[in-house]
C-alpha cells in the first residue's frame, strides 16, 4: 500500500489541494428516499451518491502517510488507494482496488457498520474531532459505478494449481473465502443448502437495504473467476466430509452460519403469529411471500411487535411496515444507548414511524380460540450495573407490567450456530455453545477443515464473516502448500 501512495499521480493529487482546504469540506449526506414514501415500498432506502458528491467527498480524505482507517477494516481494504482513484476520476480503478481484498464491495458499502470500523479510525474522527470521511458511501459508489458502467473487471487469477477446495455455505464468509482462493489459483466449489446463493445476504437482509440483484452481480463475478456453486446440497447430509475427500477435495471451509433462532421460552410463545425474525425475513426475502404470485404464505400483521434491538430486529420491523402494519413496535429490554443496531438503521426506522418501546421485556403472550396471538404482556425495566457485555443490564421494576394488543410478534433475540455440520463430522472440536473451535488460522481440530463466520463467532456481522473468510483462505493456502 505504501508504494502506491508514492506514485506520481497521487503525489500530485495531494498537492492539488491543501489539507486545510480538504478539512474545511463538510461530509456528504446520503441521498435517501422520503420516509413517508419508502416505508410502504421495497425500494432501496439509500440511493447512493452522485458522481459529483463522490468526487467532493473523496477530496476530504487526506491520503495519510500512515492511514489508520485500513486498520479498522476486517478485510484490509486499501482505503486511501480507492478513494484517491475516485478523486482523480478513475472510478473503475477504484473498484479494482476494492476487489483486491473484498469479494463483495457493493454489499459491504451498504451493510458494513463503517462507523464502528474504518470510519471510527479515520483521522477526522481520531484527531480532528470532525465527521469521518464517508468511506462506506464511497465504497458503495465505486462498486455501483462499476456495475452500472457494464465494464466489470474480473480480478486476476494466478495460474490454476489444480487443487480442489470446498466451501460449505454461500454467505459472506464463504463467498469471501471463495474469491480469495480462486485468486490464488485453487479450484473452488461452494455448496449451499438453500435454493439461492448468498446466505444471509439473500434470506436475511431485506431488499430495501440490500437488493438481491446487487448480491447476484457480486456472485456472478465470482463465477467469472471460476468458482463453482452447487445449490440444494447439505454437507453432512447430502454429501459427507468423507465423500468430499474421496472426490479429491484437499481442504474444506465451513461457513454454515448461525442458523438456529433463539426464543425466550416464555408462556404463549408458540401461538400462531409469533415467529423468529429468521422465519419472517426468509418468507419475505427468500420466498417472496408478500408477492401474491408466489406460493409461500405470510401473515401481514396490523399491530406488529419485534422483540430485540439488533440490526435484524430493525430489518424485521421495517419489513412489517412495508407489509402494511399500522403499528410497528420495537420492544427492547435495555435503553436505546445499549441497542446493538447500527445508528443508521435506528434512525431510518424512527423516520419511517416505528415506535420504540425500550426498557420493556415480554413475559407472556395471549391468544384467541384459534391460537392466534392477540396480546403481549410486557415487564417494564430499568438499567442496573454493567453486565458481562459491558452494557448496563436491564433490571425488572417490580409490579410494573403493561399489556399491548398485537396480532404478530417477531422474535429477534439472537441465533445459535447451525448444528447440521458440527453434528455430522466426527472428531470436530465444538464448543458447548455449538460453535466450531478454531485456531488463529481459522483451522479446526481436523487439519483439513477450516471454519469462519457465525459458525465460529455465534452471531456477528457480514464484514467480520468476510474477514474470517480471508484469514482462512490465507491459512489454508499456507497449509496446503506445506
Residues lying near another protein in the complex (CB under 8 A): 193-195, 203, 231-234, 237-240, 259-261, 263, 265, 269-270, 272-273, 275-276, 278-279, 282-283, 287-288, 293-299, 370-371, 418-420
Residue 254 Cβ, how far from another protein at the closest point, in Å? 14
Q: Which is nearer to another protein, 42 or 391 (CB)?
A: 42
Q: At what angle do helices 212-224 and 172-183 cross, to 10 degrees?
A: 30
Residue 243 Cβ, how far from another protein at the closest point, in Å? 8
Residue 193 Cβ, how far from another protein at the closest point, in Å? 5
How many angstroms separate the first and last alpha carbons of the chain?
A: 28
Euclidean distance between CA atoms 449 and 443, whole angstroms: 6
Set of cell numbers at residue 169: 455455505
- The two beta strands, 228-230 and 46-48, are unpaired
Q: Which is nearer to another protein, 281 or 381 (CB)?
A: 281
Residue 455 Cβ, how far from another protein at the closest point, in Å? 12
Q: Which is nearer to another protein, 61 or 258 (CB)?
A: 258
Q: Which is nearer to another protein, 64 or 287 (CB)?
A: 287
Euclidean distance between CA atoms 105 and 72, whole angstroms: 16
Q: Which is nearer to another protein, 279 or 336 (CB)?
A: 279
Residue 100 Cβ, how far from another protein at the closest point, in Å? 33
Q: Which is nearer to another protein, 357 or 413 (CB)?
A: 413
Contacts of 441 by beta carbon, 8 Å cutoff, 6+ apart: 450, 471, 472, 474, 475, 478, 479
Residue 247 Cβ, how far from another protein at the closest point, in Å? 11
Euclidean distance between CA atoms 184 and 182, whole angstroms: 5
Q: Which is nearer to another protein, 236 or 469 (CB)?
A: 236
Q: Which is nearer to another protein, 106 or 252 (CB)?
A: 252
Residue 261 Cβ, how far from another protein at the closest point, in Å? 5
Euclidean distance between CA atoms 151 and 312, whole angstroms: 34
Residue 195 Cβ, how far from another protein at the closest point, in Å? 4
Q: Which is nearer to another protein, 52 or 293 (CB)?
A: 293
Euclidean distance between CA atoms 2 and 6, whole angstroms: 7
Q: What is the dihedral of CA 30, 31, 33, 35, to 10 degrees?
A: 50
Cell 398485537, residue? 406
Q: Which is nearer to another protein, 20 or 370 (CB)?
A: 370
Euclidean distance between CA atoms 340 and 333, whole angstroms: 12
Residue 184 Cβ, how far from another protein at the closest point, in Å? 29
Residue 288 Cβ, how far from another protein at the closest point, in Å? 8
Q: What is the dihedral of CA 321, 332, 342, 279, to 10 degrees?
A: -50
Amino acid at each position: 500500500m505504501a508504494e502506491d501512495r508514492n506514485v506520481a499521480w497521487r503525489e500530485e493529487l495531494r498537492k492539488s489541494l491543501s489539507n486545510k482546504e480538504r478539512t474545511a469540506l463538510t461530509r456528504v449526506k446520503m441521498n435517501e428516499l422520503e420516509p413517508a414514501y419508502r416505508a410502504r415500498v421495497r425500494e432501496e432506502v439509500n440511493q447512493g451518491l452522485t458522481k459529483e458528491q463522490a468526487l467532493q467527498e473523496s477530496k476530504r480524505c487526506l491520503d495519510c502517510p500512515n492511514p489508520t482507517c485500513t486498520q479498522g477494516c476486517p478485510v484490509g481494504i486499501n482505503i486511501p488507494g480507492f478513494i484517491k482513484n475516485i478523486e482523480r476520476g478513475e472510478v473503475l480503478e477504484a473498484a479494482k482496488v476494492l476487489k483486491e481484498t473484498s469479494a463483495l464491495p457493493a454489499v459491504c458499502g451498504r451493510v458494513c457498520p463503517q462507523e464502528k470500523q474504518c470510519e471510527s479510525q479515520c483521522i477526522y474522527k481520531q484527531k480532528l474531532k470532525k465527521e469521518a470521511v464517508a468511506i462506506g458511501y464511497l465504497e458503495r459508489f465505486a462498486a455501483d459505478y462499476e456495475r452500472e458502467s457494464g465494464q466489470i473487471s474480473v480480478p486476476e487469477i494466478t495460474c490454476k494449481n489444480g487443487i480442489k477446495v470446498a466451501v460449505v455455505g454461500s454467505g459472506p464468509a464463504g463467498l469471501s473465502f471463495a474469491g480469495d482462493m480462486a485468486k490464488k489459483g485453487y479450484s473452488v466449489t461452494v455448496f449451499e443448502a438453500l435454493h439461492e446463493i448468498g446466505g444471509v445476504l439473500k434470506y436475511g437482509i431485506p431488499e430495501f437495504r440490500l437488493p438481491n440483484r446487487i448480491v447476484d452481480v457480486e456472485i456472478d463475478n465470482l463465477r467469472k473467476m471460476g468458482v463453482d456453486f452447487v445449490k440444494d446440497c447439505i454437507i453432512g447430509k447430502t454429501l459427507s466430509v468423507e465423500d468430499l475427500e474421496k472426490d479429491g477435495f484437499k481442504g474444506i471451509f465451513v461457513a454454515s452460519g448461525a442458523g438456529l433462532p433463539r426464543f425466550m421460552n416464555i408462556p404463549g410463545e408458540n401461538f400462531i403469529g409469533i415467529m423468529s425474525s429468521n422465519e419472517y425475513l426468509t418468507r419475505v426475502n427468500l420466498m417472496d411471500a408478500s408477492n401474491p404470485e408466489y406460493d409461500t404464505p405470510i401473515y401481514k400483521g396490523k399491530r406488529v411487535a419485534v422483540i430485540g434491538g439488533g440490526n435484524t430486529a430493525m430489518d424485521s420491523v421495517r419489513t412489517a411496515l412495508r407489509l402494511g402494519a399500522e403499528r410497528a413496535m420495537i420492544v427492547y429490554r435495555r435503553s436505546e444507548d445499549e441497542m446493538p443496531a447500527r445508528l443508521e438503521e435506528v434512525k431510518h426506522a424512527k423516520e419511517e414511524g416505528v415506535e420504540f418501546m425500550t426498557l420493556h421485556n415480554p413475559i407472556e403472550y395471549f391468544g384467541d380460540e384459534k391460537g392466534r396471538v392477540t396480546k403481549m404482556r410486557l415487564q417494564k425495566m430499568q438499567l442496573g450495573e454493567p453486565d458481562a457485555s459491558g452494557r448496563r443490564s436491564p433490571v425488572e421494576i417490580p409490579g410494573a407490567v403493561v399489556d399491548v394488543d398485537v396480532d404478530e410478534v417477531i422474535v429477534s433475540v439472537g441465533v445459535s450456530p447451525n448444528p447440521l455440520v458440527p453434528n455430522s463430522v466426527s472428531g470436530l472440536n465444538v464448543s458447548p455453545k455449538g460453535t466450531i473451535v478454531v485456531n488463529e488460522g481459522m483451522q479446526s481440530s481436523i487439519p483439513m477443515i477450516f471454519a469462519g463466520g457465525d459458525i465460529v463467532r455465534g452471531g456477528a456481522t457480514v464484514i467480520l464473516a468476510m474477514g474470517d473468510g480471508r484469514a482462512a483462505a490465507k491459512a489454508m493456502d499456507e497449509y496446503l502448500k506445506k
